[in-house]
A and B are shown apart, each in its own frame.
Chain A
Amino acid sequence: MIELVFVLCALIAAPCAALSAVLVRRWTADSAARFAATVVAVGSVAAMCLVPIRLMTSHEGNSLLLESLGLNVDWLAVVVLMLVLGLSALIQFFAVRYLRGDARQMWFVVTANLVTASTAVMVCANTILGFGLSWVAAGASLVALLAMYSHLPQARGGARRTAISFVLGDLPLITALILLAVSADGDVAFADLRNAMAGLPIPLATVVAVLLVIPALARSSQVPFHGWLPATLAAPTPVSALMHAGVVNAGAILVLRFSPVIGESTAAMSLIFFAGALTLVYASAIRLIKPDVKGRLVFSTIAQMGFMMLACGMGAFAAAVFHLIAHGLFKATLFLGAGSGVAREARQRAWPARQVTRWPQATAAIAVAISVPIGSIVAARVLLGVELSPASQALQLFVVLTAAVALVSTLWTHFSATTALVGSFAITGLAFGYTALITLFDRALAFGPVAAAVNAWWLLIPGVALIALQLVLLNRPGNGATRRLYALGLAAGTPTTRITRQSIARQIGAPS
């Protein structure tokens, strides 16, 4: 019962906030925004309270009540609810001051809360049709949110691109849901999805699985739907923060919810994996060329979503969830703080010039950078008694790589006892914390083994591609191939407006 109360509280918060902003006209925009943010904050606290409640009480009785409302609040839902509501509240509090005086502040409050509300309902939906409905609603409200500065041509272009990508992604979803519903004679609960699938002939099952992957790729801005996210920068920073942190990860949520369908189909899982891998490499490359702060953040998000899809494709679902939550917090903070470049340069100007590293120190740095990360990850696994699937183990290679890169550059910049000690302790602590936390996620989310998961060895392909990318970077002054890559990347990184494309196309047709 208590759980029901808290769940409802969490879910109602955002729609309330959206409504309140519309109805309460007598207040100033400032007060209305503050009120809406507070309501959503209450909702997020309610979501956080679900954790102790879930741990302490039994789930069985409550789940029937929730199911009657079409909701299924399992651990995945709780965790994503906390993320979405928490981030939404945080960003709205930020926006109370950031959008002060803006003529469109109320538009932001209403549409941001609509996005939050539909995402919250989507993650708690118990049936496929409920999920589908709230998925489409989330997409529509996001397009509305992006139209905040509709007087700017760039904003209109961005909203249009997003709408097109979402429509192209949602049509396959609707088709797949119809197919499933027809074959099961009505709405299907996620718990019964496996049984419903058993009734379908194999080719149809594969088609449905592949159709379900497409909306996930579209929402997470993966190849070939990678064009909409870079075009959305003509919306205020809080909008970008909310989108990158809470909305683009919906792709993984779809995959996870429909894992009884998708996880059985090799075609679908391979599609996810390779789309993710391709996007990861592509976006990482373009990100290196972008000169502007927000552009770099956009492509970083696209690459991170590629990583998330990659993890899904390998069947490491818990790792994917872990990633999307941590990344959401990470990216929201970076976006909100996107104006701190000038202050940072002023601060760093006062630092002493870097000294040239001598060879003994450089070698020691490399040695430490290789040994400490590997050692601490292995130690963490052994001491915490953790058993990880091959996929998760493969993904931990990324952790080792990051730690090694961080350590080597820290020590290369300033080799001293303090740096070495602090660095090593930090890496060890982080490694332990990471391993513990990801094991916790694994146990709590309890995804079963995925039948058609792509073999972890395929990770070598994007891995090698990334190493090749690094080598291209280091290749100075470069040759024709690197120049070509650079030019392609530079052009691909910025969306071209319709007018430019039309003018150029017109000239091709015109007689010379």
Chain B
Amino acid sequence: MSLGVRAAVTRATRTVVPMWPLSSFIAVNPLGAHESEDFAISGVTRPRNAYLADYASGRISGADLVAAVLHRVPELAGAGNVTLGGRVWTAAELVASELVHADHHGRTTPPPPSPDPVDELVSIWIAAYLDPHPLWEMPDRDQGLWAAWTTMTRYDPRLPKMARKRLRDIPRTADEALAQALARLDPSGSRTEAILRQEALGLPGWVAHIKWRAEHVGDINLTSYLAIRLTLRWALDLPLPLAVKKPELGSATVWERAGTIIPALAEDSASPDTLARVARILTLHPPHLHASTWQSAYEEHYRLQLVATLSPTTTRDLQSAVQLVMCIDPRSEGMRRHLEADLEIETYGFAGFFGVPIRFASYQARGTIDSLPALIAPRHAVTETTNDLPRARRRTNALRFRDALAAGVHASETTPAAPFALAETLGWFFGAGALLRTLWPGTIRARERLHRQATPALSTEVTIADAFTLEERASLAETAIRMMGLDRFAPLVVLAGHGSSSANNLYQSALDCGACGGNPGAANARAATAIFNDPQVRRILAGRGLAIPETTVFVAAEHNTVSDRIDILDRHLLPESHIDVLNEFIGTQRIAADLLVRERSSELPGASGHSLARLRRRAHDWAEVYPELGLAGNAAMIIGPRAMTRGVNLERRVFLHSYVPELDPDGSALETIMTAPLVVAQWINHQYYFSTVDQNRWGAGTKTIHNAIGTIGVLAGHGGDLKSGLPLQSVAVGNTNLHEPMRLTVLIQAPLDRIGTIISRNQVLRDLFDNNWIALTARDSQHSPWHRYGTYGWHTDTELGQTTEGD
């Protein structure tokens, strides 16, 4: 039954996480399908000697280990004590010391699967089929992958004659072919799913991308991919790939473990009674948990430091002249911290798409971007309009001219006989250009200035009113206000999205805003600004108890994370009255930007002793593989009022989302924060984590050999699998890590019962927290004690101590 085959394919590829194309890189948890089971089962950690080195250097202390052990196995708290070697060991201390002295880590990286000839035979077909700008389009491409492949594979010279003969006579649809191939390989039909699952392991990058493409574009699916693979296997008489055995964990019995640990802690041999007690205690912490306990201890150390640094003071009553709302991205933390040195500025953190999910197109542009989190589908299209029609016409003509030139060069590059003279004429200019770009990267700005002269800039507005009804806009505004906890409005409110600039960087969209689908956040900032400035919207909001004073003006901006400048957008929409305030803000921002660039340069590879101009030039340098650090170092997320973190140096490692319970009576804003921005932060954190812990398996390898297929993905070298995950240069410099692999530590200041209800209502949060994919610590309010969310619910976090009384 062909439908049954499709269902089997879906089941077999259930654990495959879809991979987004390179043009809108979305960080995902590569083990996302395993979130319903405990991290210790499928999660990967660093090797044991890395943890031991950290233990030796003090990065992990004994107290951290004990705390981690107790959190993992709360029963140890009541498991009694043991006397060994003259001192009394609590159960937790005993278990912690076993981690240090005995190696039951067990988990070794599985050996790489033996190379499969089918991989090579199939990957070129998939690459050619999915090529977005083919110079010679695959014949029959419009009929689908299976149809195209069946007509042409019989001519494939790499296949022996017998195989080619067999391939002349294959079913017309992929479903039938797959069913047939499965029937041949497994007549009983009992191993269908296992075979399919094994087959899908061959080219994991392609499989992940095909799964994405099947859901979002629809011109390819995993059924035809697997049909091709299994049909080729049959035609070539190749055996099925061997199942890779999961590495066996050391299966030491608990008596052996006890026998190992006791001599390490005490000189004299222990009585059988002691042995039994130790064994009983050790049973509570089986070997398969050891690796993840080490990792928890590693994170615990950071968590304690983080909580200790949080500000003990109460809210200051600020009457700031400017409020700045930035994305939760950790890079914003640095900017916010430097800006708040000026007391007249108050900052907030909010998801970078500002609650306005749109599909955006520039003025009369041919393409669109989906500027919204990957968790939702775009339903509203927004573009730009302008009042200055003559200028718009000139701009359009200038762009068409550029398009024409590009088309001319492209045609002479791709028409068969034309490239030879093209190389001979253009080569000289290209050489001069390459020389300038390499030795003096700043000259690119002269070129850009020329472009801007030739193409007049246009003052436009976003057509937000056409895409959302008044009621929808009012709801979006209300949600945003309640989510952020904006209880008062300054005269100037700046909504700053963020984007990055780099040259010659295939992963540039990984540096842009993740909440905006891997795009710069400018469009959303402008859309949100338009909504907030709309008097009709304000009238409705006033009716709901959220009055925005008439003197308050919102303005859109974009934070460039390489130069750290905040560029104001749509300046022409700003009324005269607020120009002074804005200019003052810009002045303050410039100073803060320079401080931040200087701060970042201490960690940026190869940046020691460079001037600010040189550091900012990295945005234009085509040879620079480290234009900025991106989100490397991300470790925690704090959801709560800025008063918690104002003035604290969080080292640009923390996602900050503002939240104030007073403006959120029913808890829906908190639920939105926990199920959207928190999930996006978790995806990013796990992408960085796994790409750091195992670059070969979950990362894309070094950028230096990356070979792009249009903008859908990269190969490493001349062919093979599509690479998924972050490249080496995003997480490490050679063999030194830039990113400390730690699972996200979430700190929330909100009523605990509210948090608990939200978690229990949402499967995704239950999975993430209960299964130890991320950690949660929370407190009711400023003065309440911190509680840790664990296996048995909330328990007071005694290590964190009491918070001090307020001022």
Contacts and interface: CB of A to CB of B under 8 A. Distances in A.
A touches B (Cβ under 8 A):
yes
B157 A491 contact: yes
A289 B622 CA distance: 28
Interface in B700-733: 702-711, 715-720, 729, 732-733
A102 interface: yes
A339 interface: yes
Contacts of B606: 30, 97, 100-101
A300 B413 CA distance: 9
A494 interface: yes
Interface stretch (B113-121, B643-651, B659-667): B113-121
B115 A508 contact: no
A167 to B, nearest CB: 22
B635 interface: no
Contacts of B508: 342-343, 346
Given A292-B127, A488-B157, A508-B162, A326 B709 contact: no
Given A98-B623, A291-B128, A496-B120, A333 B433 contact: yes
B425 A419 contact: no
A141 interface: no
Contacts of B403: 348, 351-352, 354, 413-414
B404 A434 contact: no
Contacts of A495: 718-719
A155 B416 contact: no
B23 interface: yes
A329 interface: yes
B422 to A, nearest CB: 5
A271 B151 CA distance: 37
Contacts of B734: 101-103
A352 B366 contact: yes
Contact of A486 (B139, B163, B406): B139
Contact of A402 (B162, B421, B433): B421
Q: How large is the interface on B (under 10, 10 to 19, 20 to 34, 35 or more residues)?
A: 35 or more
A203 interface: no
Interface residues of A, number: 129
B238 A503 contact: yes
Contact of A487 (B117, B156, B503, B705): B156
Contacts of B414: 288
Contacts of B151: 483
A351 B402 contact: yes
Nearest to A465: B416
A360 to B, nearest CB: 17
Contact of B733 (A101, A354, A494): A101
Interface in A486-504: 486-497, 499-501, 503-504
B22 interface: yes
A405 B407 CA distance: 10
A423 B117 contact: no
B369 interface: yes
B605 A327 contact: no
Interface stretch (A126-134, A232-240, A251-259): A232-240
B579 interface: no
B404 A342 contact: no
Contacts of A288: 135-136, 414, 416
B244 interface: no
23 contacts: A93-B623, A96-B623, A101-B605, A235-B705, A294-B718, A304-B423, A330-B426, A332-B431, A333-B430, A349-B368, A352-B366, A352-B399, A354-B366, A405-B411, A409-B411, A413-B403, A414-B403, A430-B425, A473-B135, A487-B152, A491-B157, A497-B115, A512-B162
Given A326-B423, A349-B365, 8 more contacts: A291-B127, A292-B719, A326-B427, A354-B403, A470-B415, A478-B139, A487-B152, A503-B117
Interface of A: 30, 90, 93-103, 149, 152-155, 158, 230-231, 233-238, 284-285, 287-289, 291-296, 298, 300, 303-304, 307, 322-323, 325-334, 336-343, 345-346, 348-355, 398-399, 401-403, 405-414, 416, 418-419, 422-423, 430, 433-434, 463, 466-467, 469-470, 473, 477-478, 482-484, 486-497, 499-501, 503-505, 507-508, 510, 512
